[in-house]
């Protein structure tokens, strides 16, 4: 084990439990060496985690808001005291450069204060009228919630569900990605050491079968971040249970439009690179399609982009100097991405820069740029890798039409132009996040985060996670039982009144 506190166990009812299922390992994607060993949770272990959460719910939902907030703040302080260790674990297990892992840890810490603020802003109790005739709004927890997390932000994105769910009074069974079990266990260990009551948060390790078993439990909510295919499976599995709240944040095929008016070429190149290649292209908001105007401006931009992309440094997080990006999460993902790029080239794509495997084995890929002008029917898929497809356009409306030629609708961006141009793009492009003169991978936890079409089911997270973490309950109330001033026709209460 990399960390003496990381044990390769499940966490059920306040105890770390040695699993009894089939063994699996987590590897360092840079070295391919095993760094963790644990067991897939067996159905009985998943059921035990659910029962622990169900039992803890009785007390947790009745715990005062002030006490729940105190537990969350203790967790944030605990993470802050161990932020360097957590950042290193994220880099070791996910392959991210250390600088990027540090930004993720900061987001984990900041999530607590932002969630508390969002809870008060978006789910505060309300009351109108007098004591004899009040209209009230209060919020109740769903119950036991399942959180199914991704590998690309193994700490931040799962935490983005867990914190608002716990704050609202829910209890949680957490199933992280099987690629990043160490980070999940570290996070749960931090909750444990922060004094969270037993059963409020439970951890079951494993793959798709573990997640499926969890969804078979009588849970009341599911929060998922990951691919469209997995999100669709969750949706279909719960189709006969419409009472189960599902918050699905899925993939994207993000377009980034370059306007003809670029007054700062270095800034444009920086934003394109950060949009397409940060995290080795393993973000759901990564720019997959770059829409470039025909003409000299577009030609100059592509020439500068190719030059800057060719200079990007790639390596392990502990390399010197520190790299811009690391490997993909697993060698299989790298092979799959290379095969998809080969398919694009076979359809007529032209490699302006070839995406290639840097080592004979492993997940290190050099970034690739493909000109797609000769491809008539490009596949609408998310290549979760550092691959950018370039399309040339004649008019802004043509660029918008190209941008919308996807089943996804998570993020989009515009570089250049003026406020009128952005307003036009904003009104006509299909996406839940639309950035102007910013990388598409930039997002604020103080705003909602979610997409349209196949990218989500209208349950945006981040600041708006408060909305799906609790049930709004309306009440008409009076402090005394009284008759109305007038009785409706056809109803006689004379005998009762006498």
Break the chain down into helix, strand, coil percent, rounded to 5.
40, 20, 40
How crowded is residue 458: how many other Cβ atoms within 10 Å of its Cβ? 11
CATH, domain range 10-250+456-476: 3.40.605.10
Two structure tokens written together for 267? 């800034």
The conformational region for residue 129 under phi > 0 = left, psi -120 to 50 = alpha, else beta, is left
Tokens of 453: 């079409």
Q: 45, 93, 104, 249: which is the annotated catalytic residue?
A: 249
Is 284 part of the annotated catalytic residue set?
yes
**Alpha carbons 60 and 64: distance in angstroms, whole number:** 8
In angstroms, the CA 173 to CA 150 distance is 15
Q: Could you give the C-alpha distances from 433 to 315, 347, 450, in angstroms and in order? A: 30, 30, 7
Beta-carbon neighbour count of residue 280 at 10 Å?
30
Structure tokens at 112: 């607590």
- Return the H-helix or E-strand segment holding 36: strand 34-39
| Cα–Cα distance measured from residue 412 to residue 429, given in angstroms and rounded to the nearest whole number | 8
Q: Which of 7, 20, 14 is nearest to 46 (CA)?
A: 20
In terms of Cα–Cα distance, which of 183, 201, 197, 195 is closest to 77?
Answer: 195
CATH 3.40.309.10 range(s) for the chain read: 254-444
Give pLDDT, residue 366: 98
Q: Distance between CA atoms of 207 and 77, rounded to whole angstroms? A: 31
Among residues 284, 382, 387, 454, which one is catalytic? 284
| Secondary structure of residue 223 in the 3-state scheme | strand
Given this model, what pLDDT does residue 496 score? 65
Q: Is 127 helix (H, G, I), strand (E, B) or coil?
A: strand
Quick: pLDDT tens for 432-477. Answer: 999 999 999 999 999 999 999 999 999 999 999 999 999 999 999 9
Tokens 């820069």, located at residue? 353
Residue 2, pLDDT score: 46
**Left if phi > 0, otherwise alpha if psi is -120 to 50, otherwise beta: which for 490?**
left
pTM above 0.75, yes or no: yes
136 is catalytic: no
DSSP codes of every residue in 439-480: -TT---TTSEE--EETTBSS--EETTHHHHSEEEEEEEE-SS
- In whole angstroms, give the CA distance from residue 388 to residue 289: 6
CATH class of this structure's domain 254-444: alpha beta
Q: Which residues pair with 287 in a beta bridge?
A: 254
Where the chain has pLDDT below 50, the residues are: 1-4
First to last CA, the chain: 80
287 with 440: CB under 8 angstroms? yes
The Cα–Cα gap between 228 and 245 comes to 18
């Amino acid at each position: 084990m990399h960390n003496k506190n990381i044990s390769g166990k499940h966490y059920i009812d306040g105890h770390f439990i040695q699993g009894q299922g089939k063994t699996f390992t987590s590897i360092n994607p840079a070295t391919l060496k095993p760094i963790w060993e644990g067991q897939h949770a067996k159905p009985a272990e998943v059921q035990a985690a659910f029962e622990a959460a169900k039992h803890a719910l009785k007390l947790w939902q009745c715990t005062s808001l002030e006490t729940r907030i105190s537990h969350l703040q203790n967790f944030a302080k605990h993470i802050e005291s161990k932020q360097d260790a957590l950042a290193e674990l994220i880099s070791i297990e996910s392959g991210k450069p250390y600088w990027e892992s540090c930004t993720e840890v900061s987001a984990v810490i900041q999530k607590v204060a932002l969630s508390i603020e969002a809870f008060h802003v978006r789910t505060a109790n309300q009351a109108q009228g007098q004591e004899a005739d009040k209209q009230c709004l209060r919020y109740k927890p769903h119950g036991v919630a399942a959180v199914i997390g991704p590998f690309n932000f193994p700490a931040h994105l799962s935490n983005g569900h867990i914190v608002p769910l716990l704050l609202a009074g829910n209890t949680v069974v957490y199933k992280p990605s099987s690629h990043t079990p160490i980070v999940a266990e570290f996070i749960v260990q931090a909750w444990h050491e922060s004094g969270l009551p037993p059963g409020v948060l439970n951890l079951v390790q494993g793959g798709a079968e573990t997640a499926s078993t969890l969804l078979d439990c009588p849970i009341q909510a599911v929060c998922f971040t990951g691919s469209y295919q997995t999100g669709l499976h969750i949706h279909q599995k719960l189709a006969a249970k419409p009472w189960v709240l599902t918050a699905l944040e899925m993939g994207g095929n993000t377009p980034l439009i370059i306007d003809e008016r670029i007054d700062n070429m270095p800034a444009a190149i920086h934003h394109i690179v950060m949009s397409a290649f940060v995290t080795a292209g393993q973000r759901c908001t990564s720019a997959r399609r770059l829409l470039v105007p025909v003409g000299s401006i577009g030609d100059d931009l592509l020439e500068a982009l190719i030059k800057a992309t060719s200079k990007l440094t790639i390596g392990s997080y502990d390399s010197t100097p520190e790299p811009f990006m690391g490997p993909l999460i697993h060698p299989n993902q790298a092979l799959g991405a290379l095969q998809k790029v080969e398919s694009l080239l076979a359809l007529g794509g032209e490699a302006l820069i070839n995406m290639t495997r840097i080592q004979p084995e492993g997940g290190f890929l050099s970034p690739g740029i493909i000109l797609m002008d000769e491809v008539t029917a490009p596949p609408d898929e998310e290549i979760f890798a550092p691959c950018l497809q370039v399309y040339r356009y004649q008019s802004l409306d043509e660029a918008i039409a190209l941008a919308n030629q996807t089943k996804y609708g998570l993020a989009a961006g515009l570089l250049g132009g003026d406020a009128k141009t952005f307003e036009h793009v904003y009104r006509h492009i299909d996406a839940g996040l639309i950035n102007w003169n910013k990388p598409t991978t930039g997002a604020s936890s103080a705003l909602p985060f979610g997409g349209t079409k196949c990218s989500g089911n209208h349950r945006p997270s981040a600041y708006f996670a408060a909305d799906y973490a609790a049930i709004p309950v309306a009440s008409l109330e009076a402090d005394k039982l009284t008759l109305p001033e007038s009785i409706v026709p056809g109803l006689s209460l004379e005998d009762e009144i006498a």
